[in-house]
Amino acid sequence: MWSVARRPRWIAALFLALAIAAAFAALGQWQIARSVADATVVERDTETVKPLTEFAQPQQPVTSIAAGQLVSFEGTVVQGDSSVLSDRLNGGVSGFWVMAHVVTDTGASIAVAQGWAATRAEAEAAAEASPSIAALIPYTGRFISSEAPQEGDFESGERNTASVAALINEWSVAPVGVYGGYLVSASAPAGLTVIDSLEPDNEVTLNWLNIFYAVEWAVFAVFAVFLWYRLVKDAWEREEEEAAEIAAEDAALAAELAELN
Protein backbone atom coordinates (compact mmCIF):
# COMPACT_ATOMS: atom_id res chain seq x y z
CA MET A 1 0.00 0.00 0.00
CA TRP A 2 2.81 2.39 0.82
CA SER A 3 4.25 1.93 -2.68
CA VAL A 4 0.99 3.45 -3.92
CA ALA A 5 1.16 6.22 -1.29
CA ARG A 6 4.64 7.26 -2.52
CA ARG A 7 3.38 8.07 -5.99
CA PRO A 8 3.44 11.78 -6.92
CA ARG A 9 -0.37 11.90 -7.16
CA TRP A 10 -0.92 10.67 -3.62
CA ILE A 11 1.98 12.68 -2.18
CA ALA A 12 0.32 15.79 -3.56
CA ALA A 13 -3.00 14.63 -2.08
CA LEU A 14 -1.27 14.14 1.28
CA PHE A 15 0.06 17.70 1.27
CA LEU A 16 -3.44 18.93 0.43
CA ALA A 17 -4.93 16.89 3.30
CA LEU A 18 -2.30 18.22 5.72
CA ALA A 19 -3.00 21.79 4.60
CA ILE A 20 -6.71 21.29 5.16
CA ALA A 21 -6.04 19.69 8.57
CA ALA A 22 -3.80 22.63 9.52
CA ALA A 23 -6.56 25.05 8.55
CA PHE A 24 -9.08 23.13 10.66
CA ALA A 25 -6.64 23.06 13.60
CA ALA A 26 -6.14 26.82 13.29
CA LEU A 27 -9.89 27.34 13.35
CA GLY A 28 -10.13 25.14 16.47
CA GLN A 29 -7.40 27.13 18.18
CA TRP A 30 -9.22 30.34 17.28
CA GLN A 31 -12.43 28.99 18.83
CA ILE A 32 -10.58 28.12 22.06
CA ALA A 33 -9.05 31.60 22.16
CA ARG A 34 -12.52 33.07 21.68
CA SER A 35 -13.94 31.00 24.53
CA VAL A 36 -11.24 32.31 26.89
CA ALA A 37 -11.48 35.89 25.65
CA ASP A 38 -15.26 35.87 25.98
CA ALA A 39 -15.15 34.31 29.46
CA THR A 40 -17.15 36.41 31.86
CA VAL A 41 -16.21 36.89 35.48
CA VAL A 42 -19.25 36.93 37.75
CA GLU A 43 -18.42 39.73 40.17
CA ARG A 44 -20.64 40.08 43.22
CA ASP A 45 -20.47 42.25 46.28
CA THR A 46 -20.96 39.42 48.74
CA GLU A 47 -19.34 41.21 51.68
CA THR A 48 -21.92 43.97 52.09
CA VAL A 49 -24.58 42.81 54.53
CA LYS A 50 -28.03 43.03 53.00
CA PRO A 51 -31.50 41.83 54.06
CA LEU A 52 -32.08 38.13 53.46
CA THR A 53 -35.39 38.81 51.71
CA GLU A 54 -33.56 40.67 48.92
CA PHE A 55 -31.79 37.50 47.80
CA ALA A 56 -33.90 34.53 48.85
CA GLN A 57 -37.48 33.50 49.39
CA PRO A 58 -38.93 30.49 51.25
CA GLN A 59 -39.70 27.38 49.22
CA GLN A 60 -37.42 28.59 46.42
CA PRO A 61 -34.02 27.23 45.29
CA VAL A 62 -30.89 29.17 46.23
CA THR A 63 -29.65 31.17 43.26
CA SER A 64 -26.00 31.71 42.36
CA ILE A 65 -26.39 35.36 43.34
CA ALA A 66 -27.66 34.49 46.82
CA ALA A 67 -25.15 31.72 47.59
CA GLY A 68 -22.31 33.10 49.72
CA GLN A 69 -23.96 36.48 50.33
CA LEU A 70 -23.74 38.14 53.74
CA VAL A 71 -27.31 38.70 54.90
CA SER A 72 -29.20 39.83 57.97
CA PHE A 73 -32.62 39.21 59.48
CA GLU A 74 -34.38 38.91 62.81
CA GLY A 75 -35.69 35.65 64.14
CA THR A 76 -36.67 33.54 67.10
CA VAL A 77 -34.90 30.31 68.10
CA VAL A 78 -37.27 27.36 68.39
CA GLN A 79 -36.43 25.64 71.67
CA GLY A 80 -35.64 21.96 71.43
CA ASP A 81 -35.00 22.00 67.68
CA SER A 82 -31.23 22.47 67.83
CA SER A 83 -29.01 19.65 66.56
CA VAL A 84 -25.31 18.81 66.43
CA LEU A 85 -23.35 18.06 63.25
CA SER A 86 -20.08 16.14 63.45
CA ASP A 87 -16.93 16.19 61.29
CA ARG A 88 -17.14 19.92 60.58
CA LEU A 89 -13.83 21.69 59.95
CA ASN A 90 -13.02 25.06 61.44
CA GLY A 91 -9.55 26.42 60.85
CA GLY A 92 -8.57 22.98 59.58
CA VAL A 93 -9.64 21.30 62.85
CA SER A 94 -12.49 18.78 62.89
CA GLY A 95 -15.24 19.45 65.38
CA PHE A 96 -18.97 19.98 65.75
CA TRP A 97 -21.53 22.52 64.57
CA VAL A 98 -24.64 23.53 66.45
CA MET A 99 -27.56 23.99 64.06
CA ALA A 100 -30.60 25.90 65.31
CA HIS A 101 -34.13 26.18 63.97
CA VAL A 102 -34.93 29.89 63.66
CA VAL A 103 -38.26 31.39 62.65
CA THR A 104 -37.70 34.76 60.97
CA ASP A 105 -39.84 37.83 61.56
CA THR A 106 -41.68 37.01 58.32
CA GLY A 107 -42.75 33.60 59.69
CA ALA A 108 -40.47 31.46 57.51
CA SER A 109 -37.97 29.01 58.99
CA ILE A 110 -34.24 28.92 58.37
CA ALA A 111 -31.45 26.68 59.67
CA VAL A 112 -28.67 28.62 61.41
CA ALA A 113 -25.18 27.29 62.10
CA GLN A 114 -24.65 29.04 65.41
CA GLY A 115 -21.05 28.05 66.10
CA TRP A 116 -18.33 25.40 66.32
CA ALA A 117 -17.11 23.33 69.26
CA ALA A 118 -14.10 21.04 69.60
CA THR A 119 -16.02 18.33 71.46
CA ARG A 120 -19.50 16.87 71.23
CA ALA A 121 -20.14 17.58 74.90
CA GLU A 122 -19.48 21.30 74.38
CA ALA A 123 -21.70 21.37 71.31
CA GLU A 124 -24.57 19.55 73.01
CA ALA A 125 -24.33 21.85 76.03
CA ALA A 126 -24.58 24.89 73.78
CA ALA A 127 -27.48 23.36 71.84
CA GLU A 128 -29.44 22.82 75.05
CA ALA A 129 -28.75 26.35 76.29
CA SER A 130 -31.26 27.98 73.91
CA PRO A 131 -32.91 31.24 74.97
CA SER A 132 -35.64 30.74 77.54
CA ILE A 133 -37.63 33.67 76.15
CA ALA A 134 -38.99 33.57 72.60
CA ALA A 135 -37.69 36.95 71.49
CA LEU A 136 -36.59 38.31 68.14
CA ILE A 137 -32.80 38.19 67.82
CA PRO A 138 -30.83 39.94 65.04
CA TYR A 139 -28.80 37.53 62.90
CA THR A 140 -25.98 38.30 60.49
CA GLY A 141 -23.97 35.78 58.51
CA ARG A 142 -23.29 34.11 55.20
CA PHE A 143 -26.14 32.44 53.35
CA ILE A 144 -25.06 29.02 52.05
CA SER A 145 -26.79 26.53 49.76
CA SER A 146 -28.07 23.41 51.46
CA GLU A 147 -25.81 20.37 51.36
CA ALA A 148 -27.02 17.03 50.02
CA PRO A 149 -28.61 14.66 52.54
CA GLN A 150 -26.22 12.38 54.37
CA GLU A 151 -25.47 9.02 52.81
CA GLY A 152 -24.46 5.88 54.66
CA ASP A 153 -25.07 4.92 58.28
CA PHE A 154 -26.88 7.70 60.11
CA GLU A 155 -29.13 5.58 62.32
CA SER A 156 -26.59 5.84 65.14
CA GLY A 157 -27.51 9.50 65.52
CA GLU A 158 -24.42 10.93 63.82
CA ARG A 159 -25.14 13.83 61.51
CA ASN A 160 -22.40 15.45 59.43
CA THR A 161 -24.14 17.31 56.59
CA ALA A 162 -25.90 20.66 56.74
CA SER A 163 -28.89 19.41 54.79
CA VAL A 164 -31.99 21.55 55.16
CA ALA A 165 -34.18 18.65 54.01
CA ALA A 166 -32.77 16.38 56.73
CA LEU A 167 -33.03 19.05 59.44
CA ILE A 168 -36.70 19.67 58.67
CA ASN A 169 -37.45 16.05 59.51
CA GLU A 170 -35.86 16.54 62.95
CA TRP A 171 -37.65 19.78 63.85
CA SER A 172 -40.47 19.34 66.33
CA VAL A 173 -42.29 22.44 65.07
CA ALA A 174 -43.52 22.10 61.51
CA PRO A 175 -42.33 25.11 59.47
CA VAL A 176 -44.72 27.25 57.47
CA GLY A 177 -42.08 27.96 54.84
CA VAL A 178 -38.39 27.06 54.69
CA TYR A 179 -35.42 28.73 53.04
CA GLY A 180 -33.46 26.46 50.72
CA GLY A 181 -30.14 27.41 52.30
CA TYR A 182 -28.78 27.89 55.79
CA LEU A 183 -27.00 30.73 57.57
CA VAL A 184 -23.46 30.53 58.95
CA SER A 185 -23.71 33.02 61.80
CA ALA A 186 -21.08 35.77 62.02
CA SER A 187 -21.22 35.55 65.82
CA ALA A 188 -21.38 32.63 68.23
CA PRO A 189 -23.17 32.19 71.56
CA ALA A 190 -21.29 31.44 74.76
CA GLY A 191 -19.42 28.13 74.66
CA LEU A 192 -19.02 28.10 70.88
CA THR A 193 -16.46 29.45 68.40
CA VAL A 194 -17.37 31.52 65.37
CA ILE A 195 -17.44 29.34 62.24
CA ASP A 196 -15.01 30.22 59.45
CA SER A 197 -16.91 31.77 56.56
CA LEU A 198 -14.67 32.74 53.65
CA GLU A 199 -15.60 35.07 50.84
CA PRO A 200 -16.64 33.02 47.77
CA ASP A 201 -14.37 33.10 44.74
CA ASN A 202 -15.54 34.95 41.66
CA GLU A 203 -16.82 32.50 39.09
CA VAL A 204 -15.42 32.45 35.56
CA THR A 205 -17.94 31.34 32.96
CA LEU A 206 -16.48 29.96 29.72
CA ASN A 207 -18.33 30.03 26.42
CA TRP A 208 -18.91 26.28 26.05
CA LEU A 209 -20.32 26.72 22.54
CA ASN A 210 -16.88 27.85 21.35
CA ILE A 211 -15.30 24.85 23.10
CA PHE A 212 -17.72 22.55 21.27
CA TYR A 213 -16.84 24.17 17.93
CA ALA A 214 -13.12 23.73 18.70
CA VAL A 215 -13.64 20.01 19.26
CA GLU A 216 -15.53 19.80 15.97
CA TRP A 217 -12.66 21.44 14.07
CA ALA A 218 -10.21 18.99 15.66
CA VAL A 219 -12.38 16.07 14.48
CA PHE A 220 -12.48 17.55 10.97
CA ALA A 221 -8.66 17.87 10.95
CA VAL A 222 -8.22 14.22 11.88
CA PHE A 223 -10.82 13.19 9.32
CA ALA A 224 -8.97 15.04 6.52
CA VAL A 225 -5.84 12.91 7.07
CA PHE A 226 -7.92 9.76 7.54
CA LEU A 227 -9.73 10.42 4.27
CA TRP A 228 -6.38 10.55 2.44
CA TYR A 229 -5.38 7.24 4.03
CA ARG A 230 -8.71 5.66 3.11
CA LEU A 231 -8.41 6.79 -0.55
CA VAL A 232 -4.87 5.44 -0.82
CA LYS A 233 -5.95 2.12 0.66
CA ASP A 234 -8.94 1.91 -1.70
CA ALA A 235 -6.66 2.56 -4.69
CA TRP A 236 -4.23 -0.12 -3.53
CA GLU A 237 -7.01 -2.65 -2.92
CA ARG A 238 -8.48 -1.90 -6.33
CA GLU A 239 -5.10 -2.50 -8.00
CA GLU A 240 -4.66 -5.71 -6.03
CA GLU A 241 -8.07 -6.95 -7.14
CA GLU A 242 -7.32 -6.10 -10.79
CA ALA A 243 -3.96 -7.86 -10.56
CA ALA A 244 -5.63 -10.91 -9.04
CA GLU A 245 -8.22 -10.97 -11.81
CA ILE A 246 -5.52 -10.71 -14.50
CA ALA A 247 -3.52 -13.47 -12.83
CA ALA A 248 -6.64 -15.66 -12.69
CA GLU A 249 -7.37 -15.01 -16.36
CA ASP A 250 -3.76 -15.81 -17.29
CA ALA A 251 -3.89 -19.02 -15.26
CA ALA A 252 -7.16 -20.04 -16.93
CA LEU A 253 -5.71 -19.31 -20.39
CA ALA A 254 -2.59 -21.29 -19.59
CA ALA A 255 -4.73 -24.20 -18.44
CA GLU A 256 -6.73 -24.14 -21.68
CA LEU A 257 -3.55 -24.11 -23.78
CA ALA A 258 -2.19 -27.01 -21.81
CA GLU A 259 -5.32 -29.03 -22.50
CA LEU A 260 -5.14 -28.27 -26.20
CA ASN A 261 -1.55 -29.42 -26.34
* Mean pLDDT along residues 116-132: 87
pLDDT of residue 246: 86
What's the pLDDT tens digit per position in 178-214? 999 999 999 999 889 999 988 887 665 666 777 888 8
**pTM of the full structure:** 0.62
pLDDT of residue 253: 82
pLDDT of residue 42: 58
pLDDT of residue 204: 59
Whether 115 contacts 130, CB under 8 Å = no
